[in-house]
């Protein structure tokens, strides 16, 4: 069993990591690090046999007690904590984004390679059911040659939540580094490197001090265009995906059900986990010849299954950390584009 120390027990730690770690064969949640009294109590309730530590230093002080560190703390802490984990010789998973900038991410990747320590980043949205469906449709030629991707993470949250760390610039907050990281990573997985970026990045809610409404237009070296949106001010939702090809298109609505299931306490691997009902499938076709197309099930646990395979058999990591550098290179270019109101070549 690979003994896991989980750093942080907010939304990410409690719902996106701990349940998956507990469900995947070969992993043992051994310790959770949080100083927050209510979260410490929640850990004891959710995982009675797990140690609760007060600070990351408690992990670095006894690195032989662990095999893997998972970092799901505010964005601005990712680099410091990942560097400490690497220096302790512990394989490391960092929740997205790996860092706030591509340069910081590259330094972490170089540090891990020099120390021969496995490093990966948690891009769970690669295992969303609708995204898995897109990959299948592209690979089997169902839409012909891909021409354009429209991808959105829309929310209706018009009020700035009080005290939320994601709403603070000194925590590397904002929607670009949050949902934008997923959008760009997915586009890169589908269509490869990006040649140029145009972006609009705004803070629109009253009192907002970080970006909450963004649009990115990517031109891939393959010739495909990706148009990506993320907003907290979407009073009416647009399609989650609209993929256009030269013979057909695929359109899907709504969010992958795994997040809601995890928040509701459902366990990965339970009957129906990650599956979309037929009424929520996307549509495939062109013109009048459009039909429902079954959405593949979402499978977040496959990320941690890949981590186990990498650490025990030498298989590739489920997400190459260099992919995080490429994603952040695009996000860096997006910031320059928005500030300078121009297309930025990469």
pLDDT of residue 294: 97
**β-pair type (2-7, 241-245):** unpaired
Q: Provide the strand spans (E) within 117-193.
A: 119-122, 146-154
Global pTM reads: 0.96
CA dist 172 and 169 (Å) reads: 5
The residues pairing with 92 across neighbouring beta strands, listed in sequence order, are 69, 119
> What does the DSSP 8-state code read for residue 290?
E
One digit per residue, the tens of pLDDT, for the chain of length 346 reads 999 999 999 999 999 999 999 999 999 999 999 999 999 999 999 999 999 999 999 999 999 999 999 999 999 999 999 999 999 999 999 999 999 999 999 999 999 999 999 999 999 999 999 999 999 999 999 999 999 999 999 999 999 988 888 989 888 999 999 999 999 999 999 999 999 999 999 999 999 999 999 999 999 999 999 999 999 999 999 999 999 999 999 999 999 999 999 999 999 989 999 999 999 999 999 999 999 999 999 999 999 999 999 999 999 999 999 999 999 999 999 999 999 999 999 9
CATH fold of the domain at 125-302+329-345: Dihydrodipicolinate Reductase; domain 2 (3.30.360)
Joined together, the tokens standing for residue 61 give 């002080």
User: Quick one: 28 exposed, middle or buried, by C-beta within 10 A (0-12, 13-18, 19+)?
Assistant: middle
Sheet containing 91-95: give its strands across.
Answer: 51-53, 27-33, 2-7, 68-71, 91-95, 119-122
Task: Say if CB 227 and CB 148 are below 8 A apart.
Answer: yes
The reply to whether omega before 97 is within 30° of 0 (cis) is yes
Q: For domain 2-122, is the CATH number 3.40.50.720?
A: yes
Residues 6+ apart with CB under 8 A from 251: 239, 241, 242, 243, 282, 283
The residues pairing with 229 across neighbouring beta strands, listed in sequence order, are 152, 215
pLDDT of residue 171: 86
pLDDT of residue 325: 98
Provide DSSP, 68-116. Answer: EEEE-S-GGGHHHHHHHHHHTT-EEEEESPS-SSHHHHHHHHHHHHHHT
User: Could you tell me the residue ranges of all domains in the chain?
Assistant: 2-122, 125-302+329-345
**Cα 84 off chain centre by:** 22
pLDDT of residue 162: 85
pLDDT of residue 170: 86
CA dist 36 and 238 (Å) reads: 38
């Amino acid at each position: 069993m690979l003994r896991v120390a989980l750093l942080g027990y907010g939304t990410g730690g409690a719902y996106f990591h701990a349940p998956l770690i507990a469900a995947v064969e070969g992993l043992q949640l051994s310790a959770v690090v949080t100083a927050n009294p209510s979260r410490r109590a929640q850990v004891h309730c959710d995982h009675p046999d797990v140690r609760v530590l007060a600070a990351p230093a408690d992990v670095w002080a006894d690195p032989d007690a662990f095999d893997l560190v998972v970092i799901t703390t505010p964005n601005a802490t990712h680099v410091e904590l990942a560097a400490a984990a690497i220096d302790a010789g512990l394989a490391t998973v960092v929740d997205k984004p790996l860092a706030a900038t591509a340069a910081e991410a590259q330094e972490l990747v170089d540090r891990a390679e020099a120390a021969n320590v496995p490093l990966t980043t948690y891009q769970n949205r690669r295992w969303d059911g609708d995204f898995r469906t897109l990959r299948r449709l592209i690979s089997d030629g169902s839409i012909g040659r891909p021409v354009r991707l429209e991808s959105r993470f829309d929310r209706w949250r018009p009020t700035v939540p009080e005290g939320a760390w994601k709403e603070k610039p000194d925590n590397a907050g904002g929607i670009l580094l949050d949902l934008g990281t997923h959008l760009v990573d997915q586009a890169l997985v589908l269509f490869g490197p990006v040649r140029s970026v145009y972006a609009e990045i705004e803070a629109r809610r009253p009192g907002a001090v970080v970006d909450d409404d963004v649009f990115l237009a990517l031109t891939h070296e393959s010739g495909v265009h990706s148009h990506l949106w993320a907003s907290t001010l979407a009073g009416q939702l647009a399609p989650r995906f609209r993929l256009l090809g030269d013979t057909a298109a695929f359109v899907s609505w709504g969010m992958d059900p795994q997040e809601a299931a995890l928040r509701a306490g459902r366990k990965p691997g339970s009957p129906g986990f990650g599956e979309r009902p037929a009424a929520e499938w996307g549509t495939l076709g062109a013109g009048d010849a459009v039909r429902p197309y079954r959405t593949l099930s979402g499978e977040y646990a496959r990320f941690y299954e890949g981590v186990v395979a990498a650490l025990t058999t030498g298989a590739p990591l489920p997400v190459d950390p260099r992919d995080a550098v490429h994603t952040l290179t695009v996000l860096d270019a997006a910031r320059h584009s928005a500030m300078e109101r121009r297309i930025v070549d990469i």
